[in-house]
Amino acid sequence: MRISESLRTGTLEIFNNKLRSFLSFLSISVGVISILYSITLIYSIRTRTAKALEVAGPGRIVVKMKDRWNSNSDMEKKQAREALTLEDALAMETRYPELFMVSPVLRKWIEFRAGSFSEWQGVLGVNTQWKKRGWVYSLKGRFINQHDIDTRARVCVIIIEGGWLKKPKWIKFYDWKDRFQEFVKHDDMLGKTIMMGGSLYTVVGVLNEPPMEKNPRAFMEVESWSPKILVPITTAQRFLSGYGESEGIDQINLDTGKEVTINAYKARVEKFLAARHGGRLNFLEIKDYRDIIKDKLADKQRDMYTVLIIGAIAILAGGIGIMNVTLATIYSRIREIGIRRAIGATRGDIMAQFVIEAMLLGFFGGIAGIMVGMGGVQYLASKGNEDMIMFQWWMPFISVIAAVLTGFLASLYPAYQASKLDPVESLRYE
């Protein structure tokens, strides 16, 4: 039998048994929609993770204090030798000069004043190496230099958020506005004098972030808040630490330069810091940055796997439906099978006929699922779902192939049984 004849017969059979076909068609469509959504989400997560890790650096290690809010005062930690310090970072830089980056940071929450404007804002104390990784900005003015750090200069760099190219519709449900960002966006801050922590600071630079959709840092941020003011880390220790000077810092970001060296340097850094802190490191966490990103993605991955499982179950149900439809079709066409065999059709022809019919059912169900799925993906993208923006042209093809393959596999057993029917007995069947 020619393939064209099998296609024609299969199409007629599908439309002649609308209810049975629709039930299988529906299950296949739901499965395809779920698969399409899952593929888009998987691709988005992998793409954004790769870009975030590329910006963060291939050999990123994070050394950070554990829950700082529940720890003792700086003096008590200093006495107990349980504080991560700037001296630790400097000693590490001397001990391992081959490291690409040693970037200590100190976070503070300070009242920002400029003229009559006042707002509490996060401040990040950094050194010159902070810009080696995660740099996605355009700079106006200059960045913090070594002279600023050596002299504890009261200078700062302000980060202006990039906003959205296309503002998501879900934003309208949030009335909160960042007053600080509104202020710095509408006032040229470069060269201005502002006040923080009772001291005057000169704004020597302004960093403009790219739009959210194109900003890998927006995806790689793992802290609950992201400071938008940078100062020399020595300045933060001296002038922004309340009463007196604090030697403690929050975190040291390291980059070995190569992914393969991460585990080796984690062990070296742990041994090095243990020697400096009397063998006690229970106040520190030393983590591979990739693991931090994975922890952040855990909830999304659970959602992704849930949807994927639902899709697989729906596809399986569709496959079972196709098998039932194919079996019912065979038993209603036994005499037709006998006639075809009597006029020269081979077992292979009979088997191919029913396999092609089932694959057509899977194909039509897949097309319907693609139409609904693509509409849903585009709708979610228009609502500001960043993961759905990364929809690719090849994703529908994979979904349709999955649907057609389901039809093929589900029909093999019934088609094989049909091909085994005895021609003489089939002609006698009533």
State pLDDT tens for residues 231-282: 999 999 998 876 555 678 999 999 999 999 999 999 999 999 999 988 878 8
Higher-confidence residue of 75 and 189: namely 189
99-126 b/e (C-beta count within 10 Å ≥ 16 → b): bbbbbbbbbbebebebeeeeeebbbbbb
Q: Could you tell me the residue ranges of all domains in the chain?
A: 3-49+298-428, 67-282
Alpha-carbon distance values, 96 to 222, 226, 256 (Å): 26, 29, 10
CA–CA distance, 36 with 391 (Å, rounded to integer): 9
The confidence score (pLDDT) of residue 208 equals 94
pLDDT at 383 over 70: no
Identify whether the C-beta of residue 216 lies closer than 8 Å to the C-beta of residue 136.
yes
Q: What is the pTM of this model?
A: 0.71
CA 284, 285, 289, 292 dihedral sign is: negative
Ranked by mean pLDDT, which of 32-41, 64-73, 246-255, 368-377 comes out on top? 246-255
Distance of CA 394 to the CA centre of its chain: 20
Instruction: Find the radius of gyration of the CA atoms of the chain.
Output: 32
CA–CA distance, 386 with 214 (Å, rounded to integer): 10
Higher-confidence residue of 171 and 267: namely 267
The confidence score (pLDDT) of residue 282 equals 82
Model pLDDT for residues 286-333, shown as the tens digit of each residue: 999 888 887 777 777 777 788 778 878 878 887 888 888 788 778 887
The confidence score (pLDDT) of residue 181 equals 92
Model pLDDT for residues 194-223, shown as the tens digit of each residue: 999 889 999 999 999 988 777 777 766 655
pLDDT at 68 over 60: no
Distance of CA 218 to the CA centre of its chain: 11
CA–CA distance, 418 with 347 (Å, rounded to integer): 8
Cα–Cα nearest to 233, from 146, 114, 336: 146
The confidence score (pLDDT) of residue 180 equals 93
Poorest-confidence range of 44-48, 57-61, 298-302? 298-302
Identify whether the C-beta of residue 364 lies closer than 8 Å to the C-beta of residue 25.
yes
- Give the model's confidence band at 384: pLDDT under 50 very low, under 70 low, under 90 confident, else very high: low
- Give the model's confidence band at 382: pLDDT under 50 very low, under 70 low, under 90 confident, else very high: low
Please give the structure tokens belonging to residue 202.
């000169």
Model pLDDT for residues 338-359, shown as the tens digit of each residue: 888 888 888 888 888 888 888 8
CA–CA distance, 105 with 65 (Å, rounded to integer): 11
pLDDT at 70 over 70: no
The confidence score (pLDDT) of residue 331 equals 81
Higher-confidence residue of 176 and 149: namely 149
The confidence score (pLDDT) of residue 79 equals 42
Please give the structure tokens belonging to residue 420.
């085994």
The single-letter DSSP state of residue 255 is: E
User: What share of the chain in percent tops pLDDT 90?
Assistant: 34
Residue 313 CB neighbour total at 10 angstroms: 14
Report the mean per-residue pLDDT for the chain. Answer: 83
Model pLDDT for residues 73-85, shown as the tens digit of each residue: 454 444 445 689 9
CA–CA distance, 154 with 56 (Å, rounded to integer): 28
Helix 395-419 with 298-332: angle, nearest 10 deg? 30
CA–CA distance, 333 with 354 (Å, rounded to integer): 11
Please give the structure tokens belonging to residue 327.
């079996």
Residues 6+ apart with CB under 8 A from 134: 55, 56, 57, 217, 220
Cα–Cα nearest to 135, from 41, 54, 224: 54
The confidence score (pLDDT) of residue 80 equals 41
CA–CA distance, 280 with 66 (Å, rounded to integer): 13
Poorest-confidence range of 178-187, 219-228, 280-289? 219-228
User: What share of the chain in percent tops pLDDT 70?
Assistant: 85
Higher-confidence residue of 157 and 6: namely 157
CA–CA distance, 59 with 254 (Å, rounded to integer): 8
CA–CA distance, 357 with 340 (Å, rounded to integer): 16
Identify whether the C-beta of residue 285 lies closer than 8 Å to the C-beta of residue 376.
no
CA–CA distance, 13 with 345 (Å, rounded to integer): 19
Burial bucket for residue 376 (CB in 10 Å: 0-12, 13-18, 19+): middle
Identify whether the C-beta of residue 64 lies closer than 8 Å to the C-beta of residue 254.
no
